[in-house]
Amino acid sequence: MTFSRRNFLQAASGLALTAGIASLPGVALAESVDMDALLTPGPLGDKILGSEDAPVTIVEYASMTCGHCANFHKKTYPALKSDYIETGKVRFIFREFPLDAVAAAAFMLARSAPADKYFEIVDIMFEQQRSWAFTDNPYNSLLNFSKQIGFTQESFEEALTNQGLLDAVNAVRDRGANEFGVNSTPTFFINGEKHSGALSIEDMGKIIEDNL
């Protein structure tokens, strides 16, 4: 389906948007995955920070409406970025794993913005998550939010009615679930080893140091 105001509201109205870890049932867990397969990008290409030669690669699957994902990006991610990504120790790959229509729409907006603004927009979305993700009218809330990051109503609607973009975002999610056993957000693969939940910088740092 494509998003319109009407079907977006219909899809979003039935969602249980909570601040806890969101999960998909019935997917087999995997403790580790093949790195070559994991690092094969999806149809949209990967969004990557850090050196290609970094000894540790972290792949995060996240949903924009996941409260634990927001907590990770507000509390752990800044230190991860300054201490490990910017120092050449970690290569960080962020992938879309929307668990509801609102999260899918948010990812579509981030992907429709200028490419060099992607991570900046994701950071703002997580920082202000409660203002647009958990409202009685998510369409209007997301529209109003989008105007703060440079969209007009026309470009907002153009992004959300891009069926190819929606299909690609969903394909990234489906591949994460079916091939790599992702069934909750956030899920991290640190050099191929799976870790679920909003890790603290102490916990993540220990895992990274063990891989250096």
Provide the pLDDT confidence category of residue 85 given band limits of 50, 70 and 90.
very high
Is 154 part of a structural domain of the chain? Answer: yes
**Predicted model pTM:** 0.87
Is 14 part of a structural domain of the chain? Answer: no
108 pLDDT more than 60? yes
> pLDDT tens-digit profile of 116-125?
999 999 999 9
What's the confidence (pLDDT) of residue 5? 53
Is 199 part of a structural domain of the chain? Answer: yes
Can you name the residues that pair with 92 across neighbouring β-strands? 49, 58
Is 6 part of a structural domain of the chain? Answer: no
Is 124 part of a structural domain of the chain? Answer: yes
Is 43 part of a structural domain of the chain? Answer: yes
> pLDDT tens-digit profile of 21-72?
344 444 444 488 999 999 999 999 999 999 999 999 999 999 999 999 999 9
What's the confidence (pLDDT) of residue 197? 92
CA distance 187 to 96: 11
What's the confidence (pLDDT) of residue 188? 97
What's the confidence (pLDDT) of residue 21? 37
> pLDDT tens-digit profile of 155-212?
999 999 999 999 999 999 999 999 999 999 999 999 999 999 999 999 999 999 999 9
CA distance 90 to 86: 8
SS (H, E, C) the chain: CCCCHHHHHHHHHCCCCCCCCEECCCCCCCCECCHHHHCCCCCCCCEEECCCCCCEEEEEEECCCCHHHHHHHHHHHHHHHHHHHCCCCEEEEEEECCCCHHHHHHHHHHHHCCHHHHHHHHHHHHHCHHHHCCCCCHHHHHHHHHHHCCCCHHHHHHHHCCHHHHHHHHHHHHHHHHHHCCCEECEEEECCEEEECCCCHHHHHHHHHHHC
What is the count of structural domains for the chain?
1
Q: What is the domain range of residue 100?
A: 19-211
Is 11 part of a structural domain of the chain? Answer: no
Q: What is the CATH number of the domain that holds 205?
A: 3.40.30.10
Is 61 part of a structural domain of the chain? Answer: yes
